[in-house]
Amino acid sequence: MTQPLIPDYLMGYLDGLVPPRPPEMQAMEAYAEKIKFPIIGPASGYLCYQVARMIGARRIFELGSGYGYSTAWFAKAVSENGGGEVFHVVWDESLSQQARQHLAVLGYDGIIKYHVGEAVQTLRNTAGPFDLIFNDINKEGYADSLPVIAEKLRPGGVLVVDNMLWHGNIFDEKDKSPATTGVRKLTEMLIHSPDWIMALVPVRDGVAVAYKR
């Protein structure tokens, strides 16, 4: 299917409700628009920031961080919560370097821990617990990542997962691709497990917010 699920006028309205961002974040948004890089965008980013603030998150781990846009929202929250750590993890060294430059300009150097490598294995090798874990890895790996996430997330912590509507592909019964199957399976795991309370917020491409009991 791969189509926009939210009309442009509605997404524009939601993004317009987000308070003004610093110039560096606006530059990151403009760059994503120019090269069609799939950042989470202002409305989803602000949701992530809000959740992190609400639970007083001081330790956050990102599984798949891109060039640091979502990291900036989480770092803002952690900074306002009194300080802590945000783990930025990507496979690509060039993305990590871009993130370092952007986040330094934003003044978050002392909060961010940078790692270049496979995200789930990096989480497995990193001491927990975490207050919030953000998951935006390759979708075929979504379901297999959940046991590791559950182990590292504290009780009362929150898992945030991007692309849970997967451009509408989850509604195509003929789509049995590994990525679409991974999104469907993770959704079922979070909904049916007694260990999680999950809601799917239909912003941008769908954001799951799951509370660990």
Domains of the chain by start residue, with CATH: 8-212 (3.40.50.150)
Span 63-86, average pLDDT: 97
Q: What pLDDT is recorded for position 118?
A: 96
Span 37-51, average pLDDT: 97
In the chain, the largest separation of any two C-alpha atoms, in whole Å, equals: 48
Over the stretch 75-111, which tens digit does the pLDDT of each residue have?
999 999 999 999 999 999 999 999 999 999 999 989 9
Average pLDDT, the chain: 96
pLDDT band at 4 (very low <50, low <70, confident <90, very high): low
Enumerate residues 6+ apart whose C-beta is below 8 A from 173. none
Over the stretch 112-165, which tens digit does the pLDDT of each residue have?
999 999 999 999 999 999 999 999 999 999 999 999 999 999 999 999 999 999
Q: By the 8 A CB rule, do 62 and 130 touch?
A: no
CA 113 – CA 32 distance, rounded (Å): 23
* φ, ψ at 207 (rounded to 5°): -120, 120
Examine the pLDDT at 2 and tell me if it is beyond 70: no
**Which tokens hold the place of 2?**
């791969």
CA 111 – CA 40 distance, rounded (Å): 21
CA 161 – CA 136 distance, rounded (Å): 6
Q: Is 88 exposed, middle or buried (0-12, 13-18, 19+ CB in 10 A)?
A: buried
Q: What pLDDT is recorded for position 109?
A: 87
Span 60-82, average pLDDT: 97
String of DSSP letters for the chain: ----SS-HHHHHHHHHTSPPPPHHHHHHHHHHHHHT----HHHHHHHHHHHHHHTT--EEEEES-TTSHHHHHHHHHHHHTT--EEEEEES-HHHHHHHHHHHHHTT-TTTEEEEES-HHHHHHTS---EEEEEE-S-GGGHHHHHHHHHHHEEEEEEEEES-SSGGGGGG-TT---HHHHHHHHHHHHHHH-TTEEEEEE-STT-EEEEEE-
Q: What pLDDT is recorded for position 26?
A: 97
